[in-house]
Amino acid sequence: MTYTAEIFSSSIIAVGDFNPAIFSPDWLEINNLVGKDDADIARGEGIGRPMLVSHQVSTFETEWFALQVLENQFSLSSKGVLSPALQDLAVSIFQLVPHTPITSVGLNFMGHFKIASESEYHRIGDILAPKKIWDTLYQDSSTGLADLTIRIQQGRRGVSLEEKTVKNISLQPSKKIKCGVFMSYNDHHEMSAAENGLRLAEQVSNLVENRWQLSWRDAERVFNSVLSLALGELE
């Protein structure tokens, strides 16, 4: 059985030193990264949430993305249906601010999955986080999985682990779907000094261009496999 998310979204988050005041709807429109209608919505002239653009924080949204930039974090999140347009927007933004010192970037994918029955729903939690220890400690109580994160690094534990590229896979009960499971996939990359003459933001731009769709496919594979394996549908 293939598990397909009921709700799926993505978020591209970069950590570094940003100048939030740059990131305004006008700036995106002038650089032709969004059209007039999107810019109007982002400026709060439509259905969007009122924008805030200042030296310390910039936050606004259109019908298809939300942008929030703090002095130390850039977050671009999809709204509505996810499409490669989000990737294009991130790639383009980072191209326009090549001097920004970005230390790391994460390609995030989130999915809410509906589980067929309550027993299967609990089985997933019990397989991924056995309750034996906790049931011993709290014999008259109910124990359940609230948040589980697994980190995946290339290499071997205790010998050599790749620190610059890490995947964090998380699982929680879904807040949006009854008897549902929420899973998130974080493809994290630490940036190093300029490579091949490219500045850090240009490296990030290339990384998003080259990795985002691969990470999307891998996230779908991982989400489906975790559920299938937990429910014993795969050997």
Partner 1 sequence: MHARNDVLKTSYSSYSNNPTARRQGDASEYRPVEKVPETTFPIDPDLPCDSSITRGAEARKRYEPPVAMGFLRVSMDSIPLQIWEGTVVDVDHAARMMRVLLEAKIGEKSQHTGEIDLQWVSEQDQDLVCPGAVFYLTLFKRTKRSGIENAQELRFRRRPSWSSAQLRQINEDAETLLAKMAALPMSE
Residue 121: name the closest of 233, 227, 5, 225 by CA.
227
Write b or e for each residue in 9-45: b if 16 or more Cβ atoms lie within 10 A of its Cβ, otherwise e.
Answer: bbbbbbbbebebeebbbebbbeeebbeeebbbbbbee
Contact flag: residue 24 with partner 1 (CB under 8 A): no
Does 1 help bind partner 1 (rule: CB under 8 A)?
Answer: no
Q: Does 182 bind partner 1 (CB under 8 A)?
A: yes
Largest CA distance in the chain: 63
Q: How many CB atoms neighbour CB 55 within 10 A?
A: 10
Q: Considering the complex, state which of residue 31 and residue 154 has its C-beta at the smaller distance from partner 1.
A: 31
Site string for partner 1, 141-180 (x = CB under 8 A): -----xx-x-x--------------x-x-x-xxxxx----
DSSP string, 32-72: TSS-HHHHHHHTTSSSSPPPEE-SSEEEEE-SSEEEEEESS
- Tell me if 70 contacts partner 1 by CB under 8 A: yes
* CA distances in angstroms from 152 to 4, 34, 91, 105, 171, listed in the order given: 23, 36, 25, 16, 14
Tell me if 48 contacts partner 1 by CB under 8 A. Answer: no
Site for partner 1 in 98-127 (CB under 8 A): 98, 104-106, 108, 110, 112
Of residues 211-230, which lie at the interface with partner 1 (CB under 8 A)? 213
Which of 82, 200, 226, 227 is the binder for partner 1 (CB under 8 A)?
Answer: 82
Nearer to partner 1, 40 or 120 (CB): 40
For partner 1, the binding residue among 24, 59, 100, 224 (CB under 8 A) is: 59
Q: Least CB distance from residue 90 to partner 1, whole Å?
A: 11
Count interface residues toward partner 1 (CB under 8 A). Answer: 75
